[in-house]
Amino acid sequence: MSSTADDSRDLTATEAVEAGLDHHGAGQLAQAEALYRRALDLEPEDADALHLLGVIAQQRGDYQGAVDLITRAIAADASFAGYHNNLGEAYRRLGKFDEAERAYRQAIALQPDFPEPHNNLGMILQKRRQVNEAIDLYRRAIQLSPNFAEAYNNLGTTLMEKGLISEAVAAYQKALQLKRNYADAYSNLGFALGVQGAYDAAIESCERAVAANPDHHEAYRHMAALYDRKNERAKAEEAYRQALRCRPDSEETRYYLAAMTESNAPPVAPSGYVKLLFDNYAPMFDAHLAGALRYRAPQLIHEAIVAVKPPGKLDVLDLGCGTGLSGVALRPLAASLVGVDLSPRMIEKARQRNIYDQLLVADLTSAMEALGRKFDLIAASDVFVYIGDLAPTFRAAADAIKPAGLFAFSVEVEDQADAYVLHRTRRYSHSLKYLRRLSEDHGFTEVSVSRKALRMERNKNVDGWIVILRARSQGA
């Protein structure tokens, strides 16, 4: 049966819903909405009409409206799994993941062979880094619906997180067999092939992604990184510019482009970039630093502190503590040791060392402002490479350190610019002149400065300044 809003007056509520479904399936949302509302005029708690109006609200981006309508539908009839699944989708879009999880689980409980809520619950658990559980849910969704392309794509992303690159590639390729012009799968495949070092094939996959969706931000970003690895700088820059065209508000893409061009550097790396970088890096961080990079900054800072510190134990703040490598060097000096890092996964690793009295997931400046003036020593090992403008950090450190306390840190050496430069490595370097100016401006006196090799990069030493400053005594 088909009808329009104008000739729906003689329809029953059920007939109005059926007619609305015809329009809804044809993408005629206004006509469908009018018919669903006609059904509600006749039966105000018609569950199907409420649910379908909620679906239209969700299609229009009104996720709270969708939650309200679908919740009413469930109050009228809680037995239909599809209602709960769509309620979960609306909550997920709102970022209310606990509520979304409950809705998906209820959908599965009502209909265990319903593939969509298995896939959707997998996305919630993956976001929470419950990767193994997410994989099980995606595989179950595929078992229930072997042609479920989205589940294959999501499975690929979880396999990537576990480092199972070849299996991820196979999952993305299966998704593309099932769904032509699947831009997300092409983009993800490009990223995975790039990790394998198959740069040309990876670029081709990203090109297919943007052919399918010319506004695919992530595909352009992957493409830019691939061209950069191939040292095709002009193409990398253009890909980043295209990514910015797709999403002009992306701070991370703007940061990548600034690093690529070594111009227009923002004052600090985006916190989301730093958090994700180190969340992903956490499992192999210690081995990579100690092995391939020959990382020495914590030991160098420790040696410099020991040479000038007063007798006795100190209350110590470890800024950007990471997995606790710096804390291992600082603990012998500490009466108390507090660690701060943006990355929750780094903090998890640091906690396993059992050397910190307190660990906080926070940005450095906010943490120092919250903790107050309680530290004899504030140390930052290889942290300021993600901060260009260090003035707010110095200001916060000056307020968090006791009179005559020590401020010890490393930065990468900048010999050319007056202040700081963002490099293609996406790390900042700082000039000694700039550091001395900040020191004077914020009430510190220089105790020692030395130029040392902090680590190796591409078989070359990366030089840094090891700086020890002292806060001026009260009344000085």
Answer for the pair 424, 458: CB distance below 8 angstroms, yes or no: no
Q: What is the CATH number of domain 180-249?
A: 1.25.40.10
pLDDT tops 70 at residue 184: yes
Mean pLDDT on 15-26: 95
Q: What is the pLDDT of residue 277?
A: 81
Q: What is the pLDDT of residue 214?
A: 98
Q: Compute how many other C-beta atoms are within 10 angstroms of the C-beta atom of residue 80.
A: 17
pLDDT, tens digit, for every residue of 330-377?
A: 999 999 999 999 999 899 999 999 999 999 999 999 999 999 889 999
Under the banding of pLDDT at 50, 70 and 90, the label for residue 276 is confident
Residue 9: which region, alpha, beta or left (left: phi > 0; alpha: psi -120 to 50)?
alpha
Answer for the pair 138, 171: CB distance below 8 angstroms, yes or no: no
pLDDT-above-70 percentage for the chain? 95
* Higher per-residue confidence, 463 vs 279: 463
Q: What is the pLDDT of residue 280?
A: 74
- Using alpha carbons only, give the angle 376, 379, 381 rounded to the nearest 5 degrees: 170
- The set of residues, in sequence order, having a beta carbon less than 8 Å from that of 192 and lying 6+ positions away, is 156, 160, 165, 168, 169, 172, 202
Pairing of strands 358-361, 334-341: parallel
Q: Which of 8, 12, 64, 1 is nearest to 33 (CA)?
A: 8
pLDDT tops 60 at residue 141: yes
- What does pLDDT average to over the chain? 93
Q: What is the pLDDT of residue 278?
A: 80
Instruction: Judge residue 390's burial from the number of C-beta atoms within 10 Å of its C-beta, 0-12 exposed, 13-18 middle, 19 or more buried.
Output: buried
Q: Running DSSP on this structure, what letter comes out for residue 312?
A: S
Q: Running DSSP on this structure, what letter comes out for residue 472?
A: P
Residue 341: which region, alpha, beta or left (left: phi > 0; alpha: psi -120 to 50)?
beta
Task: Give the lowest-confidence range in 166-175, 290-299, 445-454.
Answer: 290-299
Mean pLDDT on 428-447: 97
Fold of 276-471: Rossmann fold (3.40.50)
Task: Give the lowest-confidence range in 22-31, 187-196, 449-458.
Answer: 449-458
Q: What residues does each domain of the chain span? A: 180-249, 276-471
Q: What is the pLDDT of residue 1?
A: 45
Under the banding of pLDDT at 50, 70 and 90, the label for residue 408 is very high
User: Which residue is associated with the tokens 């879009």?
Assistant: 93
Q: Say what the pTM is.
A: 0.83
Under the banding of pLDDT at 50, 70 and 90, the label for residue 283 is low
Under the banding of pLDDT at 50, 70 and 90, the label for residue 5 is very low
Mean pLDDT on 163-184: 96
- The set of residues, in sequence order, having a beta carbon less than 8 Å from that of 270 and lying 6+ positions away, is 251, 252, 255
